[in-house]
Amino acid sequence: MRELLSVLVTLFIFPGVAFLVACALLFEWIDRRTIARLQARVGPPWFQPLADLVKLLSKESILPRQADRPICTALPVVSLAAVLTAALYIPVGGRVVYGFEGDLIVVLFLLSLPALFYFLAGWVSVGIYSIIGGSRSVLQYFSYEVPFLMALSAPAILTGSWSISDIITQQAESAWIVLAQPVGFLLAIVGLIGKLKRVPFDIPKAKSEVVGGPLTEFSGRKLALWRLVVDIQTVAGIFLLVNMFLGGGDLTLLQGSAPLGLARAVTFSIKALGMLLTLSVTSVLYARLRIDQLANLGWRILAPLGLLQLAATILMGIG
């Protein structure tokens, strides 16, 4: 009985759905506020993301006549399920929920599913802007996903383990992986920007070209869920990068100690916020790229760098 209760609390409260949604809304607010301040504006108050979510949930949902209603309703729900499940396997503040050998691969797979569903959403909702946005999102996917996967595989190869909690533990014993693989870290950040479709990689939903991209025809509850998917993906992506490169809940840069759970949580939060601020600042600095410029960037610069990083890691391991 107690176990059941504990499982339910973990799944739905902490670090489950409630915690993730709260984090997602908080991160969205910090992001929007930072961007606003950097652009000489004021920015929204703390409850704005929650207000937007509640408002969208209560609005009418209209779809074009030829759109496939059941699939359009199912897609955001399935995407949400994918990112929530992925987030469950990512340790938060040093606290591992359901870790196992190979959970890194599962997380990476689950986190790449929303891109597929995003494209399908555009395809199935039939409008011209949706279809063009959808095809762009697939092109974009290939440009950032390969470097991203390579960058996130490098720590696993370095530590010899495909379990995220193992990687964290090894970082606590030796050093943060970012010191050994700075290139990989940068690639992971760039890949994350592409995954989250933030400027300069917000090409599929470029307002001035394709209006709303694949989600043009979505409104009401469906759109609310899509926005939640993006927010939770942001949270999951940031947590993943903090765990893989910055040592998770670890305090010191080089030698690890075992601080209390609260200290770990605080450290983790500081690192996560640092990553979020990095993402916000890069959103402000650039114009949107064209899809062919992104493909150029992805295949001519990012992928070769990722290969180099992997090669260096493997050679270091052999030597």
Query: By rule CB under 8 A, what string of x and - marks binding of each residue 26-65 to another protein?
Result: ------------xxxx------------------------
Query: Whole-angstrom Cα distance, residue 171 to residue 158?
Result: 11
Q: Is residue 293 a contact residue for another protein (CB under 8 A)?
A: yes
- Quick check: helix, strand or coil at residue 95? strand
Question: Minimum distance between the CB of residue 120 and another protein, rounded to whole angstroms?
Answer: 19
Note whether 167 binds another protein by CB under 8 A. no
Is 292 near another protein (CB under 8 A)? yes
d(CA 281, CA 287): 13
DSSP 204-257: GG-HHHHTTGGGTT--HHHHHHHHHHHHHHHHHHHHHHHHHHS-TT--SSSS--
Cβ(250)–Cβ(171) below 8 Å: yes
Tell the smallest beta-carbon distance from residue 204 to another protein (Å). Answer: 11
- What is the spatial distance between Cα 203 and Cα 133, in angstroms, rounded to a whole number? 8
Per-residue contact track with another protein, 176 to 215, x per CB under 8 A? Answer: -----------------------xx-xx--xxxx-x----
Does 284 engage in binding with another protein (CB under 8 A)? yes
> Residues 6 or more apart from 316 whose CB is under 8 A from it?
158, 180
CB of 263 to another protein, least distance (A): 37
Nearer to another protein, 281 or 307 (CB): 281
66 in contact with another protein (CB under 8 A): no
Ranges within 101-130 binding another protein (CB under 8 A)? 128-129
